[in-house]
Amino acid sequence: MVELSAMSFSFEVIKEIPERLGRAGVISTPHGQISTPAFIPVGTKASVKSLAPEALSDLGAQAVLANAYHLYLQPGSETLDQAGGLGKFMNWDKPTFTDSGGFQVMSLGAGFKKVIDMSLGSLDSDEAMAESKERLAHVDDEGVTFKSHLDGSMHRFTPEVSMQVQHQIGADIIFAFDELTTLHNTRKYQEQSLERTRLWAIRCLDEHKRLTDQRSDKPYQALFGVLQGAQYEDLRRKAAKDLSEMKSSGISFDGFGIGGALDKASLGQIVSWMSSELPSDKPRHLLGIGEPADLFAGVENGADTFDCVAPSREARTSAVYSENGRFNVSSASYKRDFSPIDKTCSCYTCSNFTRAYLNHLFRAKEMLASTLATIHNLAFTVRLVDRMRQAILDESFLEFKTEFLARYQAKAMD
Ligand SMILES: [Zn+2]
């Protein structure tokens, strides 16, 4: 098993940012390589909304991340298994990721809407909210019971179920099942949750080993442990240390996912706490992060890959990105603006269409509006992280960061 893993999944650091934890590298999977740092577009239900895989490939995407929770409910992970795995099913021949389903189980499951708040807001103490108020009643030490957001049917995810579902889906990189907490949980609850996630991580390794042996005819799937700990330095460092030293059934994690509640203001610091505890020869994925300033903070502090629904989700609401910041292309001021969304962008949309045309498509509610805006926002985000990689190789990362953010943040969002 160890030999197989070493043969079909590996990570190599090529260059580091001097006096920082960031690096450029290459992840190798059975479906090809990912040059890191890299932004990975999200194809929640085995589809990046409004894009055919060819468009995704053309805009520079190196991999796709799908959601185990959604695919488990629809069409069912057995269907993907029979199809030959996620990549074959969606006709995407490059690397794939699935998340564990934990995030969706706990954020879409019955009873809690919008509990995942990425900012601390007015909270000034971790005791600011009563423990009973945000307590996720469906979580117990064995797993999570949840109600399908599609038809209300009851389901149960345990670490073992998550591994079974992710093996059937068959992505190259899969994640351990973790408990999601929010910044509003109390410190005491974060500690209990971290311990529960640690015990679940051991169970994930055991089940992953069993399934890998049982399904030895399938391409090797790399398992990443997920690190929680909210905004607490000691908990974040403990999670990183525990999971990097963890060994069970003779195997350890192939990489790590940095997850959970993150106060965006201290994102870089949180990533740096964890990166300094994690082994440098294993890749680190920052879950659910995609805003330019956050991507710079993540890369600078040692994150290798990122995924986020924001670029494609915002595109569908006509919010598009440019070197000079984000703007709403459907607003009246672009009605007769015959320039591309971003003059410096060479994507299919910017090479062929004007702001005026996109403005018209959005106002006329044409489906092509979503497609063209999604192509641009994903191309922009993928290329931004590709440029960070090049800047690391050229030893100019910090200069590039300062220069890019000064321009990007100069204009107020409209
Ligand atoms: Zn573009």
From the list 99, 172, 254, 304, the catalytic residue is 99
Q: Which phi and psi (to 5°) does residue 255 adopt?
A: -175, -170
The pLDDT assigned to 7 comes to: 58
Q: How far is the CA of 44 from the centre of ligand 1 (A)?
A: 22
What secondary structure does DSSP assign to 349-403, as a single string?
HHHH--HHHHHHHHHTT-HHHHHHHHHHHHHHHHHHHHHHHHHHHTT-HHHHHHH
| CA dihedral (139, 145, 151, 153) positive or negative | negative
Q: Residue 134 above 50 pLDDT?
A: no
Q: How far is the CA of 43 from the centre of ligand 1 (A)?
A: 20
From the list 126, 254, 307, 342, the catalytic residue is 307
Q: Residue 1 above 50 pLDDT?
A: no
Q: How far is the CA of 380 from the centre of ligand 1 (A)?
A: 6
Task: Report the alpha-carbon distance of residue 86 to residue 166 in Å, rounded.
Answer: 10
- Whole-number mean pLDDT of the chain? 90
Q: Would you call 93 a catalytic residue per the annotation?
A: no
pLDDT digits (tens, 9 = 90+) for 31-87: 999 999 999 999 999 999 999 999 999 999 999 999 999 999 999 999 999 999 999
Cβ neighbors of 369 (< 8 A, separation 6 or more) are 318, 358, 361, 362
Task: Report the alpha-carbon distance of residue 145 to residue 221 in Å, rounded.
Answer: 26
Q: Would you call 141 a catalytic residue per the annotation?
A: no
pLDDT band, residue 113 (cuts 50/70/90): very low
The pLDDT assigned to 3 comes to: 47
Model-level pTM?
A: 0.92
Q: How far is the CA of 271 from the centre of ligand 1 (A)?
A: 30
Q: How far is the CA of 27 from the centre of ligand 1 (A)?
A: 27
Q: How far is the CA of 378 from the centre of ligand 1 (A)?
A: 9
pLDDT band, residue 117 (cuts 50/70/90): very low
- Amino acid present at 351: S
